[in-house]
Amino acid sequence: MGKIGTFVVGVIVGGVIAAATFWLAMPNMMLHVSTSSMPFEQTVTTIESNAVAAGWQVPKIYNLQESLLKAGKGDIKQLKVISLCQPEHAYNILSDDANKAVSAMMPCRIGVYETQDGSVRIAQVNMGMMAKMFGGKIQEVMGKVSEEEKEILGNIIAH
């Protein structure tokens, strides 16, 4: 195999390694998981009140533990998903037909769950990274969403 063949094989192997590394790192890059400094219910209610105080709406809080128990499944410990909507941000994205497909990811959601050891965790999509994938108006608005979510969770996340 000549120099060109060795080069091509090197490029292919390097590409496979880079793709595998990216694939394995993606879940940790796309989700933020933090530990709450508060008990479970206080975490949920504080997120809700912080969001409302920041001009956001909380259209629904899903109790997944309760839903799964009602469906005859085992106890997963406490787990709630809080839906958050900031009407101005939503309008700025959804007023353009070209952006309406993003509605599949709306409203924003924050998961609050209790682990087997009793810790309370907060999970959210990395909106800052997600924003960069879209560009344009979506990137601009989702960048603001990312900053506002940090403020909403600021006094809750254990440091």
CATH of the domain at 102: 3.30.310.70
Residue 24 has pLDDT above 80, yes or no: no
Give the tokens for residue 43.
């975490």
Q: 63: Cβ–Cβ under 8 A, 6 or more apart, which residues?
A: 79, 80
Q: Is residue 35 within 8 Å of 156, Cβ to Cβ?
A: no
**3-class secondary structure, 123:** strand
Residues of the chain with pLDDT > 90, as a percent, come to: 72
Residues of the chain with pLDDT > 70, as a percent, come to: 87
On whether residue 81 sits in a domain, the answer given is: yes
Q: Residue 78: what pLDDT?
A: 98
* Single-letter code of the amino acid located at 95: S
Residue carrying the six token digits 């990137």: 139
Q: Residue 130: what pLDDT?
A: 83
On whether residue 21 sits in a domain, the answer given is: no
Residue 21 has pLDDT above 60, yes or no: no
Q: Encode pLDDT of 89-138 as tens digits.
A: 999 999 999 999 999 989 999 999 999 999 999 999 998 888 888 889 99
Q: Residue 19: what pLDDT?
A: 55
**Can you give the residue range of the structural domain that contains 48?**
30-153
Q: Is residue 48 within 8 Å of 61, Cβ to Cβ?
A: yes
State the first-to-last Cα distance of the chain, in angstroms, to the nearest integer: 55
Residue 20 has pLDDT above 90, yes or no: no
On whether residue 145 sits in a domain, the answer given is: yes
Run of H or E residues at 61: strand 57-63
CA 46/CA 48 separation, integer angstroms: 5
CA 75/CA 32 separation, integer angstroms: 24
On whether residue 3 sits in a domain, the answer given is: no
Rounded to a whole number of angstroms, the CA Rg of the chain reads 20
Q: Encode pLDDT of 60-85 as tens digits.
A: 999 999 999 999 999 999 999 999 99
pTM: 0.83
Domain count, the chain: 1
On whether residue 79 sits in a domain, the answer given is: yes
Q: Please indicate whether residue 105 or residue 48 has the higher confidence score (pLDDT).
A: 48
Q: Residue 47: what pLDDT?
A: 98
Mean pLDDT of all residues in 39-53: 98
